[in-house]
Amino acid sequence: MQALKDRILAEGRYLQNGILRVDSFINHQVDPELMDACGAEFARAFADCKADRILTAEISGIAPALMAARHLNLPVVYARKHKPVTMPDQVYFTVAPSHTKGNMVDLIVSPDYLPRGEKVLIIDDFLASGSTILGLVRLVQAAGAKLVGIGTLIEKSFEGGRKSLETLGVPVVSLVCIESMENGEFKFID
Amino acid sequence: MQALKDRILAEGRYLQNGILRVDSFINHQVDPELMDACGAEFARAFADCKADRILTAEISGIAPALMAARHLNLPVVYARKHKPVTMPDQVYFTVAPSHTKGNMVDLIVSPDYLPRGEKVLIIDDFLASGSTILGLVRLVQAAGAKLVGIGTLIEKSFEGGRKSLETLGVPVVSLVCIESMENGEFKFID
């Protein structure tokens, strides 16, 4: 997706350890127009999946997933990392290693919003090692729902996440795929 | 706003201690169409404020603030509760008591996304005691920016938050105002 690629080239910053800073338009400040365009792109990519609902993970998955949900006219559910008092005691729960934080994070979804038998599309901001997305996949499986697709804004192909998702047998769509960020120079795969 | 009021009547649940559960359409599962309509309503209410940017707090403020930002064509910034590795060391920082968690939460914004002199509109999901919003106001003040308005989806007027915001001298707009939830029966103020 050219608009997202242009924005990464203009404002993305390579920090270290494979971490890409995009907090001027995705995960601290958010550009609603760009995010809405990304949502429309996801809607086109997954139009044939006939999903019943979108699942993402708080915090930075919310904006792209909400915009995709708007264009697909679906409810969106975000897995919580801390169980709020408003959530029932019986939940779907898994643990996933956090790429940027270096620790483990909880992913929690209320069974009310992940019904058995439904078709679920996962949307998140990054596909890096794939560990967060695999956590979301485990929640889908625990619920007895059916995964129908995975979409992310930015894939960092050098971290190998796509390989870990291949066995799931669903389309994996990244709007932009970065092959390398060495010396802060971005190389994209079309 | 009638659509939001109807949804609270249909799906909102009074838990205890003044806590209203709206996790089927606002803060776990999100209804993108309703949230978009709320964003349009905020845009109408604050059209004259000439804001430069919207500020909210993660996590449940993101959806309404993003949709308001879409309709006002403004960037939106969400205050982080944990400083990510992608954030610079010099930040605006404050602490606010959490209504639902009973502890204190950090609110952190990068100076890059809260420039001095800009006009800032605060959008959040709830106006209860007003403590989170007052935390956001302190961040605006610390940045030398100018607060021009405060919008929330749901006000619980019995918790007195509006009074704590009155001295700020800016419009405070709630799309729905709940006067009482005694015995799980919602009474609204028009």
Q: Which of A24, A53, A66, A92 to mutate to test the interface with B (most CBs of B within 10 A)?
A: A66
ipTM computed for the complex: 0.96
Domain that holds residue A16: 2-189
Residues of B in Cβ contact (< 8 Å) with A63 = 62, 66
CA–CA separation, B69 vs B121, rounded Å?
10
Percentage of chain A surpassing pLDDT 90? 90
Report yes or no: B131 at the A interface, CB cutoff 8 Å. no
Burial of B17 (C-beta count, 10 Å sphere; 0-12/13-18/19+)? exposed
Closest to A53 (Cα-Cα) out of A128, A96, A112, A107: A112
Contact check, Cβ <8 Å, A23/B70:
no
Report yes or no: A103 at the B interface, CB cutoff 8 Å. no
For chain A, the first-to-last Cα distance in angstroms comes to 9
CA–CA separation, A55 vs A124, rounded Å?
8
How far does the CA of residue B25 sit from the closest CA of chain A (Å)? Answer: 8
CA–CA separation, B151 vs B175, rounded Å?
8
Match 């203009």 to its residue by tokens. A10
Beta partners for A64? Answer: none
Residue of chain A whose Cα is closest to the Cα of B71: A32
Q: Residue B101 belongs to what H/E stretch?
A: none
Task: Say which residues have a Cβ less than 8 Å from residue A115's Cβ, sequence separation at least 6.
Answer: A143, A145
Describe chain A by its helix, strand, coil percentages, rounded to 5. Answer: 35, 30, 35
Contact check, Cβ <8 Å, B113/A28:
yes
Cβ-based contacts under 8 A for chains A and B: 129
Contact check, Cβ <8 Å, B69/A29:
no
pLDDT tens, residue by residue, B101-125: 778 999 999 999 999 999 999 999 9
Which of A15, A84, A112 is nearest residue B24 as measured by Cβ atoms?
A: A112
CA–CA separation, A98 vs A137, rounded Å?
15
Task: Say which residues have a Cβ less than 8 Å from residue B19's Cβ, sequence separation at least 6.
Answer: A85, A86, B99, B100
Residues of B in Cβ contact (< 8 Å) with A88 = none
pLDDT tens, residue by residue, A113-154: 999 999 999 999 999 999 999 999 999 999 999 999 999 999
Number of neighbouring beta carbons within 10 Å of residue A90: 9
Residue ranges of B 155-184 with Cβ closer than 8 A to chain A: none
Residues of B in Cβ contact (< 8 Å) with A112 = 23-24, 29
Q: Is B73 left (phi over 0), alpha (psi -120 to 50) or beta?
A: left
Report yes or no: A98 at the B interface, CB cutoff 8 Å. no
User: pLDDT-derived band of residue B172, with 50, 70 and 90 as boundaries?
Assistant: very high
User: pLDDT-derived band of residue A190, with 50, 70 and 90 as boundaries?
Assistant: confident
Number of domains chain B contains: 1
Task: Say which residues have a Cβ less than 8 Å from residue A173's Cβ, sequence separation at least 6.
Answer: A42, A45, A46, A149, A150, A151, A152
How far does the CA of residue A168 sit from the closest CA of chain B (Å)? Answer: 25
Contact check, Cβ <8 Å, A24/B63:
no
H helix intervals, chain A: 2-11, 32-45, 62-72, 131-142, 161-166
B48 belongs to a structural domain? yes
Which of A59, A76, A100 is nearest residue B58 as measured by Cβ atoms?
A: A59
Which one-letter amino acid corresponds to residue B72? L
Q: What is the CATH number of the domain that holds B89?
A: 3.40.50.2020
> What is the longest distance spanned by two Cα atoms in chain A?
48
> Following CA atoms B92, B95, B96, B101 in sequence, which dihedral angle do they give, to the nearest 10 degrees?
120
Query: Do the bridges between strand B146-156 and strand B119-127 make them parallel or antiparallel, or are there none, so unpaired?
Result: parallel
For chain B, the first-to-last Cα distance in angstroms comes to 9
pLDDT tens, residue by residue, A16-43: 888 999 999 999 999 999 999 999 999 9
Write down the pTM of the prediction.
0.97
pLDDT tens, residue by residue, B71-82: 999 999 999 999
How far does the CA of residue B33 sit from the closest CA of chain A (Å)? Answer: 6
